[in-house]
Amino acid sequence: MTSLSVTTSTEAPASLDVDIVVVAVRAGADGPELVSHPDLAHLQPHLATVGATGKADELVRFPTLDGSRASVAFVGVGKALNAVTARQAAGSAVRQLAGAGSVALAFGLDDEAHVHAMIEGASIAAYAFTDYRQKTASKVKAPVQSVTVCTTATVSAEAIERVRIVSEHVALVRDLTNRSGGDLYPQSFADAATEAAQGAPVTVEVWDEKKLAAEGCGGIIGIGQGSSRQPRLVKVSYSPAGAEKHVALVGKGITYDTGGYSLKPAEAMNGMQNDMGGAAVSLGLVLTAARLGLPVRLTAWLCMSENLVSSTAIRVNDILTIRGGTTVEVMNTDAEGRLVMADGLVLASEEQPDAIIDVATLTGAAIVSLGRRTVGVMGDTDLVGAIVAAGEQTGEPHWHMPLPEELRSQLDSRFADMANLKVGNRDGGMLVAGIFLKEFVGNGADGNPIPWAHLDIAGAAVNEGPGYGYLAEGATGVSVRTLLTAIEQRFTA
């Protein structure tokens, strides 16, 4: 995790003591167009010299800037310039200029929303995960240390501090998700959550395997019983004085997933240390809200287990009893995430919050359906709509997926109340998983179902390819900013 120093300046870019001055290039209908501070308009003819096209994520260098020790970098914004593309371009420049100590962003943007987006993109991009590098640490360029945004817009210290808090907690999520499953297991994850919460106005409660058994959490216990490293449930509570609304979060925390006896192929097992990303997002979101002082009560239920193979692991056709008494026949031990989430959803429902949002790297089907940059969202139409709209603002695509009633039959069991899936039927796998989770969402104080949204972040939680925009290869921290925006807009107004 790194912390970027951010300032704004009304001075001419050439007068700033920085290593690189970055200007933006738009892919115009008649060729590349400079998008820059007015003092840098003379750089337009050099676009052709360096071959700049304005394509998003493109970064090309020009050696000198008259009157300055700095060099120039041209970064593409694509065809349109708005808050989303400004965020991406600023982040892309900072990410690709790792190794430079100081950078000035001279896009000539004076709209406060655009400037805020640029600062956010730059702050998220100034990240590197080097925890496991020893002999090769020198091969990783250090993130940019300071960014100056050239603008006449007034950006308060409070606004910059907000971006710092958000980006640091996104980095926390990325750090946790990137960690090896050999190091991050249920107890160490619980310890990390407790440590991260130090100094924040939250309480952290850790349930060990005895407490989980006493509370009837058969899903978390069942999935975790194959490992010598026992399961945990971590409850993180933020309850500010005067809060009128309460939102519960449920996060999938499978710290490693072999698939159990329904063993994954070796290739599919690669990356399964990331299967706790939903719990990391839920933790990061609560801590962000708490440190920002949002006037809404938040409770996160982090459901942590290792899904391993051993003589004590559950078998196919075993029947688990979820918190609240629902029995589930396990038809595939690799459909484990929904089983630990079921306990969390019941626990969250018992407090009758105003809404429940669950976050999980739940299904490979989400990747097949939506690729690796879009989050599938299911559930209550209004709540889902608020999350999708927030994703548009933050530049994190979230897409509303249906929960067709006819797919419920795939969860019928021969002997139990339900099954965790129908063997041999792959139709609508992401949707069937959402339908399963819906069964465990309870009613509110008014007797009606609690508004609920399910986020399947299986594709977007980790960037498997080369870096793009403000994201490097590895964990992304997706949905923290989107859910923060949605909760703030919907439950604090």
Which amino acid is residue 329, in one-letter code?
E
Alpha carbons 247 and 298: distance in angstroms, whole number: 5
Strand partners, 249: 300, 357
Per DSSP, helices labelled H in 272-327 are 277-292
Catalytic residue selected from 164, 264, 373, 422: 264
Catalytic residue selected from 26, 87, 291, 338: 338
Alpha carbons 310 and 9: distance in angstroms, whole number: 60
Assess whether 338 carries a catalytic annotation: yes
Residue (of 465, 439, 453) closest to 367 by Cα position: 465
- Sequence length of the chain is 493
Assess whether 235 carries a catalytic annotation: no
* Cβ contact 18:72 at 8 Å: no
Q: What would the DSSP string read from start to end of 348-412?
A: HHHT--SEEEEEE---HHHHHHHTTS-EEEEE-HHHHHHHHHHHHHHT--EEE----GGGGGGG-
Alpha carbons 255 and 175: distance in angstroms, whole number: 13
Sequence-distant (6+) residues with CB within 8 A of 266 are none
Q: What would the DSSP string read from start to end of 23-51?
A: EEEEEETTEEEEE--GGGGGGTTHHHHHT
Cα 312–chain centre separation: 33
Which amino acid is residue 388, in one-letter code?
V
Strands (E), 40-170: 59-62, 71-78, 102-105, 146-150
Q: Which residues are catalytic?
A: 264, 338
